[in-house]
């Protein structure tokens, strides 16, 4: 989850390191640090807290070194502190490293190194790496890296520098992302693309079990056995301006307002009248499939639940949506007759990649839905389908989620076509899918009074309850997650019909309830469930369709008249706004909520 930058160049390295860390601060922000290297030694500066603290501590200094590594940390082992922050250095201060990931066998390695006379100064798993490099270093730094990574279990993207080679950065990757770039003045690397965009839009996404050697005049790539590998260059279409706030106060608000555009980009070329254009899936024979799995984490899992609902409505094949963190341990039947669809904004989510490996090992056809060209998930899948959300910087997902929803709706329509299944009311569904960008624009242009009232009601509350049935349950799961992520209000989501089986005991005078009733076949029953909470004093905000009778409700928000299976799009935008306004009223940092990071690259 941490952010990494590194530079080996002919001009000062610090400007690249710091601007890159700023672009990656969404990946981790409890401490930051840099190491600059020259033939005279290492200069390491670290600071607990946000990147601004590090920048302030370095302001006014002279930093001419042309090679260096940088890091922003999201704590996994050891509390946030100067000692636990990266970079870590060996005892003679000749080698320094930064690391993203988790070294699962760090304890036995630590014990071995302590027996060999090494002393540790942090609580982190990462510090074993720098001491192992020192242990194996005999004048050949590349060989020391090769020997070290051979003994590391778990996930890692790491960069190392050594005073004996002051113009060189060594980097290695296993199950954690790392991208490389090249300019006329320097070789660069980072844990995510935005860090490179101000310098180059041509990148190399390192594969698993690869080592790169960065020098000012070029990049050499090897596998873990030391065999040279030919780099594969990719061109990134978006530029650095796409990752700026664009006049908004926060990235989250900017990204919410980008949804009409990115929804249209995601659907562009996919919808023609009633047909879905998705040749990437033509290799599948759906009649051979005995089961279909949608696999994801967090918000992407909610998108998978949406896809599961549509799939079960239209296609008579068993279908399951399973959190990736559970999938690899669940003994689910896998084989060539089980289609696995993996969903991840970054394409680097550790649990999702681990599940993908299990599926591939069993010979299952694997399809990925991701936002990042060249991501690990996309490269390792049999087919990759891309959302076109562009860079999403705010930790809480907004536009990445809604683009997943529309793309998954199109994917399930395509799978129904491949199966030969009849989709009821297909014409209206596809037409409404095509107009989702306009619907999103309408939802953003006029924020209903009920949202502002709901946010005000939440300002001083510690709890909120979201209820809905059928597809509305998917929406309340995401709405509750968004609220708790950025406002720190305890928020639970329940099936409306399950309230009387326990949760209604939590309802008392003034309890905030966000209720959804957008699905016509169950809306009346949901309304009855909501009235049960009102009878016990709940402060209810109801979100429903245009024609639903809502007599007796004070705060009613009506979404546009869309196919019920697409109501999740406007509802999601409303609930994003509710969470955003509640968080702002409570004085929370919506872009960088505590304890969270954007790309979860550890299990």
Could you give the residue numbers annotated as active site?
A: 2, 598
- Find the helix or strand (DSSP H, E) in which 171 lies: strand 169-174
- Say which residues have a Cβ less than 8 Å from residue 518's Cβ, sequence separation at least 6: 468, 471, 472, 475, 543, 544, 545, 559, 564, 567, 571
Number of Cβ within a 10 Å radius of residue 61: 9
* CA atoms 583, 585, 586, 587: torsion sign: positive
Task: Find where tokens 């890296």 sit.
Answer: 145
Distance CA(421)–CA(516), nearest Å, equals 30
DSSP 8-state class, residue 207? P
Task: Find where tokens 């590391």 sit.
Answer: 152
Burial class (CB in 10 A: 0-12, 13-18, 19+), 245: middle
CA angle at 171 for the pair 166 and 173, rounded to the nearest 5°: 175
Paired tokens of 64 = 């001419």
Number of Cβ within a 10 Å radius of residue 282: 10
Paired tokens of 588 = 């929370």
Contact criterion met (CB below 8 Å) for 474 and 300 = no
Region of residue 177 (phi > 0: left; psi between -120 and 50: alpha; otherwise: beta): beta
Nearest residue to 205 (alpha-carbon basis) of 59, 380, 357:
380
Paired tokens of 104 = 């699962």
Distances (CA, A) of 461 to 310, 324, 456, 488: 35, 32, 9, 10
* CA atoms 117, 123, 125, 130: torsion sign: negative
Paired tokens of 25 = 């601060």
Task: Find where tokens 């049960």 sit.
Answer: 532
Contact criterion met (CB below 8 Å) for 385 and 286 = no
Burial class (CB in 10 A: 0-12, 13-18, 19+), 577: buried
259-267 vs 399-419: helix crossing angle, rounded to 10: 20
Contact criterion met (CB below 8 Å) for 394 and 250 = yes
**b/e map 397-436, b = 16+ CB within 10 Å:** bbbbbbbbbbbbbbbbbbbbbbbebebeeeeebbebbbbb
Reduced to 3 states (helix: H, G, I; strand: E, B; else coil), residue 511 is coil
DSSP 8-state class, residue 461? -
- Give Rg (Cα) of the chain: 25
Task: Find where tokens 């209903």 sit.
Answer: 448
- Say which residues have a Cβ less than 8 Å from residue 93's Cβ, sequence separation at least 6: 41, 42, 44
Report cis status (omega within 30 of 0) of the bond before 188.
no
């Amino acid at each position: 989850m941490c952010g990494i930058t590194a530079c080996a160049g002919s001009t000062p390295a610090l400007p690249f390191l710091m601007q890159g860390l700023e672009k990656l601060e969404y990946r981790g922000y409890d401490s930051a640090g840099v190491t600059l290297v020259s033939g005279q030694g290492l200069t390491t500066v670290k600071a607990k807290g946000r990147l601004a603290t590090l920048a302030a501590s370095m302001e006014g200094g002279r930093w001419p070194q042309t090679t260096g590594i940088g890091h922003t940390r999201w704590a996994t082992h050891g509390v946030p502190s100067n000692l636990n922050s990266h970079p870590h250095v060996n005892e003679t201060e000749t080698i320094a490293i930064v690391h993203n990931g988790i070294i699962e066998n760090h304890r036995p390695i630590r014990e071995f190194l302590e027996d060999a006379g090494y002393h540790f100064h942090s609580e982190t798993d990462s510090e074993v790496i720098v001491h192992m490099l020192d242990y194996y270093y005999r004048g050949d730094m590349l060989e020391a890296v090769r020997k070290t990574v051979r003994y590391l279990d778990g996930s890692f993207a790491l960069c190392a520098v050594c005073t004996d080679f002051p113009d060189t950065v060594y980097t290695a990757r296993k199950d954690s992302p790392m991208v490389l770039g090249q300019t006329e003045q320097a070789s660069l690397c980072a844990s995510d693309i935005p860090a490179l965009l101000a310098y180059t839009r041509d990148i190399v996404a390192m594969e698993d079990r690869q080592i790169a050697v960065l020098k000012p005049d070029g990049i050499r790539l090897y596998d873990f056995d030391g065999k040279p590998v030919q780099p594969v260059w990719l061109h990134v279409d978006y530029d650095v301006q796409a990752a700026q706030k664009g006049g908004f106060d926060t990235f989250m608000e900017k990204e919410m307002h980008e949804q009409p555009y990115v929804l249209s980009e995601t659907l562009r070329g996919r919808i023609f009248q009633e047909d879905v254009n998705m040749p990437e899936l033509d290799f599948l024979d759906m009649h051979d499939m005995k089961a279909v799995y949608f696999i994801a984490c967090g918000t992407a899992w909610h998108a998978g639940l949406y896809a599961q609902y549509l799939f079960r409505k239209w296609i008579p094949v068993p279908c399951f949506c399973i959190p990736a963190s559970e999938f690899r341990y669940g003994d689910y039947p896998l084989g060539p007759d089980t289609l696995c669809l993996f969903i991840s904004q970054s394409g680097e989510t550790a649990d999702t990649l681990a599940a993908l490996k299990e599926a591939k090992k069993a010979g299952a056809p694997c399809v990925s839905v991701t936002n990042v060209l060249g991501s690990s998930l996309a490269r390792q899948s049999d087919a990759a389908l891309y959302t076109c959300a562009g860079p999403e910087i705010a930790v809480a997902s907004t536009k990445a989620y809604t683009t997943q929803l529309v793309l998954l709706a199109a994917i399930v329509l395509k799978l129904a076509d491949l199966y030969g299944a009849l989709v009821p009311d297909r014409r209206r569904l596809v037409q409404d899918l095509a107009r989702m960008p306009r619907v999103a624009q309408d939802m953003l242009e006029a924020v209903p009074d009920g949202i502002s009232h709901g946010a005000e009601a939440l300002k001083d509350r510690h709890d909120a309850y979201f209820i809905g049935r059928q597809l509305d349950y998917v929406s309340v799961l995401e709405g509750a997650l968004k609220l708790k992520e950025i406002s720190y209000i305890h928020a639970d989501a329940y099936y409306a019909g399950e309230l009387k089986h326990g949760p209604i005991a939590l309802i008392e005078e003034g309890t905030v309830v966000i209720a959804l009733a957008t699905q016509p076949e169950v809306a009346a029953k949901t309304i009855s469930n909501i009235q049960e909470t009102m009878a016990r004093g709940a402060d209810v905000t109801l979100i429903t369709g245009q024609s639903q009778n809502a007599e007796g409700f004070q705060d009613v928000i009506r979404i546009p008249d869309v196919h019920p299976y697409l109501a999740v799009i406007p509802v999601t935008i409303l609930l994003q706004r509710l969470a955003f306004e509640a968080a702002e009223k409570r004085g929370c940092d919506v872009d960088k909520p505590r304890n969270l990071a954007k790309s979860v690259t550890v299990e």
